[in-house]
Structure 1
Amino acid sequence: MPLIDMPLSQLKSYSGINPRPSDFNDYWDRGLAEMRAVDPQIELVPSRFQTPSAECFDLYFTGVGGARIHVKYARPRGADGPHPAVVQFHGYTGNVGDWHERLGYVSLGFSVFAMDCRGQGGRSDDAGSVKGNTHHGHIIRGLDDEPDNLLFRSIFLDTAQLAGIAMGMPEVDAEQVYATGWSQGGGLTIACAALEPRIRKAAPVYPFLSDYRRIWEMDLAKDAYAELRTYFRHFDPQHERESDIFTKLGYIDVQHLAERIQADVLMGTGLMDTICPPSTQFAAFNKIASAKRVEIFPDFGHEGLPGMNDKIYQFFLGQY
């Protein structure tokens, strides 16, 4: 088959090349402490959209930095006793989409929490203020400020905070909370499971936000990663700070968070993916020490992977 990346045999042992900051664990422990100190001020607003089988709410909570985060929350109507829950994360710059996308899980007896990422295409705030550029890209947002002001730090913490909120709902079985998403949603699934170790199952599909230097060296700093090239062209045209920049990006590189995961993991990847190339995905997958499995789609890129959603359903139902 044609190759756009490493052969599969090499992918299975690839460990990534983007630097990991020396204080990485302290950085995230400090972030989690900040998150836990926030009063989430949870608000549930019944949605205009309702069905005979699902109760639907717009859920709001306050995250780090004071941002109000919006979540579409759907739960089985009249459920008897605690039941499983899924937290869902969307693709880059998008939003959680329509209510009907939650209903499949609700019909199986799950509550569903689907989060709008702050500052992207949904209803969550971007309340931060950082020095330097605020070009459209969120990867580079805060890159000229202190590491604690990287925007994706806040977004990663939002995922963990939401998972904790879900676990605290009286209708939810806190020991059966799962996470999933595709592309950015896949990267956020890894971050969520890493920062909230009580997540029991995680299903990231072609995860974004991994191994930034590898992206650069493959000349794939375009499409979803285009802001890396934009940043260097505008703010470091001779790459005098290249090493420092990639090291700072290492704080928000999900491959370095992956080793914290305790959940069972099912990942899906297409070997022809030029948006989130397979090596960057395997950089994270190979660091996961818990039970894990990857589904390979040799002829597919960053697109729908036939049958992958069905596999995730079965995985969460314990049938896979």
Structure 2
Amino acid sequence: MPLIDFPLEQLRTYQGISPRPADFDDYWERALTEMKSVDAQVELIPARFQVPIADCFELFFTGVRGARIHAKYIRPKGNSAPHPAVIQFHGYSMNSGDWMEKVAYAALGISFISMDVRGQGGSSEDAGGVKGNTLNGHIIRGLDDHPDNLLYRQIYLDAAQLAGIVMDLHEVDPSRVAAMGYSQGGGLTLACAALEPRIAKLVPVYPFLSDYKRVWEMDLAKDAYDEIRAYFRKFDPLHTREAEIFEKLGYIDVQHLAPRIKGEVMMATGLMDTITPPSTQFAAYNKIISPKRVEVYPDYGHEGLPGFADTAMTFIAEWL
């Protein structure tokens, strides 16, 4: 079988090479303190899209730094008893998607929430306010500013804050809340469950935002990671700050958050993935200490994985 990365046996033990900042834990405790101080001002507005089996809402809340965040919320009709919920995160630059594709979970009696990432393709705000480059990409947004101003710090906090809001809904059982997503959504799934450890089940699919230095080492800082190369070309062409830059990116590297996860994990990966290389995914997966398993697709890359959506729904429906 052709290889674009380490053999599977090596992937299962790989621990990543991107540096973990010495004050990483303090950094995220400070971030969570900021998040908890925010008045979320949650608002539920009936959506124009409605179906007989569910009530559909536009959900808005205020995240850190004052950004107004949007999510789609589908609640099974007539099911007011506490029941499971699934929070979905979308791929890089995209949005929360169509309502129709989410209704299947409501048909099972499960509430479904899909967040628009701030500043990307949906309705959530990017409040801005950082020094330095904002032209090219969210990974590097705030890289020339204080680490607390990295944009993905705020995005990870949005994911965790939304999870807490969902768990506080009277119709949701807070002990049966899951998170899921593909690519960026997979990375946000890991970050969400790390920062809100009550997330009980996770389905990260080829997660993005992990082991940035390994991406660079593999010469795959292109496509989704192209902004890292663009940053060096524009702002550090001699790489005099390379060590500093990769250490700063370590604050928003999901592999370093992974040990905080307490929920049960089912990851999926394609071994031909050149967008989020398998080793970067396993760098995070191998640091998870809660119950976990991985579904491996040897011949697939960063694309649809046949049958996996059904596998994921079956995994979550074990609660029913």
Q: TM-score range by the shorter chain?
A: over 0.9
Partner AA of 1:287 in structure 2: K
| Matched AA of 1:144 | D
- Report what 2:86 is aligned to: 86
After TM superposition, give the deviation of residue 80 of structure 1 in Å.
3.9
Partner of 1:197: 197
Distance in 2 separating the partners of 1:302 and 1:252: 22
- In the alignment, what sits opposite 2:229? 229
Q: Distance in 2 between matches of 1:183 and 1:155?
A: 15
Whole-angstrom distance in 2 between the partners of 1:106 and 1:96: 16
Tell me the secondary structure at the aligned position of residue 181 of structure 1. Answer: strand
Q: Secondary structure at the match of 1:13?
A: coil
Shift of 1:86: 0.3
Please list every run of 5 or more consecutive structure 1 residues that lacks an aligned counterpart in the other structure. Answer: none
Q: Which residue does 2:244 correspond to in 1? A: 244
TM-superposed CA distance for 1:128, in Å, is 2.3
Note the alpha carbon deviations across 1:119-164, whole angstroms, 9 max, x for none. Answer: 0000000002100000230000000000000000000000000000
Question: 2:151 corresponds to which residue?
Answer: 151
Asked if 1:167 is matched to 2:159, the reply is: no
Distance in 1 between the 2:274 and 2:206 partners?
Answer: 11
Structure-2 separation of matches of 1:110 and 1:203 = 16
User: For the residues of structure 2 that align with 1:315 and 1:260, how far apart are their CA atoms?
Assistant: 21
CA distance in structure 2 between the aligned counterparts of 1:101 and 1:256, rounded to whole angstroms: 32
Aligned counterpart, 2:112 = 112
Partner amino acid for 1:151?
Answer: L
Counting matched residue pairs gives 319
SS at match of 1:224: helix
Say yes or no: does 1:38 pair with 2:59: no
Match of 1:122 in 2: 122
CA distance in 2, matches of 1:105, 1:249: 36
Question: Could you say what secondary structure the match of 1:130 adopts?
Answer: coil
Amino acid at match of 1:72: K
Distance 1:128 1:77 in 2: 38
Separation in structure 2 between the aligned mates of residue 72 and residue 317 of structure 1, nearest angstrom: 21
In the alignment, what sits opposite 2:269? Answer: 269
- The DSSP-based 3-state class of the residue aligned with 2:199 is coil
TM superposition score normalised by structure 2: 0.99
1:305 paired to 2:302:
no
CA positional deviation for 1:286 = 0.0
Match of 1:103, SS?
helix
Of all paired residues, the percent bearing the same amino acid is 68
Code of the aligned partner of 1:244: E
Cα separation, 2, equivalents of 1:18 and 1:103: 39
1:10 aligned residue: 10
Per-residue CA deviations over 1:214-243 (Å, capped at 9, x if unaligned) read 000000000000000000000000000000
1: CA distance, partners of 2:257 / 2:101: 28
Q: Distance in 2 between matches of 1:131 and 1:147?
A: 11
- Supply the distance in 2 between the matched residues of 1:157 and 1:295 (Cα, whole angstroms): 28
Q: Report deviation, 1:52.
A: 0.4
Residues 8-87 of structure 1: pairs in structure 2 closer than 5 A: 8-87=8-87
- Distance between the aligned counterparts of 1:136 and 1:112, measured in 2? 32
Tell me the CA shift for residue 265 of structure 1.
0.1
How far apart, in 2, do the equivalents of 1:45 and 1:88 lie? 19
- Supply the RMSD in Å over aligned alpha carbons: 0.7
Bigger shift: 309-318 or 161-170? Answer: 309-318
1:282-293 matched pairs, under 5 angstroms: 282-293=282-293
Consecutive unaligned residues of structure 2, counting only runs of 5 or more, are none
2:135 alignment partner AA: H
Q: What amino acid is aligned across from residue 169 of structure 1 in structure 2? A: L
- Name the SS for the 1:279 alignment partner: helix
Say which is worse superposed, 86-95 or 99-108, in terms of deviation. 99-108
The aligned amino acid for 1:291 is P
What's the TM-score, normalizing by structure 1?
Answer: 0.99
Question: Any runs of at least 4 consecutive aligned residues in structure 1 with deviations exceeding 3 A, and if so which?
Answer: none
Tell me which residue corresponds to 1:133.
133
Give the distance between the partners of 1:80 and 1:42, measured in 2 at CA. Answer: 19
Q: Give secondary structure in 2 for the equivalent of 1:9.
A: helix
Paired residue for 1:182? 182
Q: CA deviation at 1:318?
A: 1.6
For 1:146 and 1:21, the matched residues in 2 are separated by: 14
| Distance in structure 1 (CA, Å) of the matches to 2:87 and 2:269 | 20
| Mean Cα deviation higher: 258-267 or 80-89 | 80-89
Taking the aligned partners of 1:36 and 1:281, their CA distance within structure 2 comes to 29
Q: In structure 2, how many angstroms separate the alpha carbons of the residues matched to 1:301 and 1:269? A: 8
Shift of 1:206: 0.1
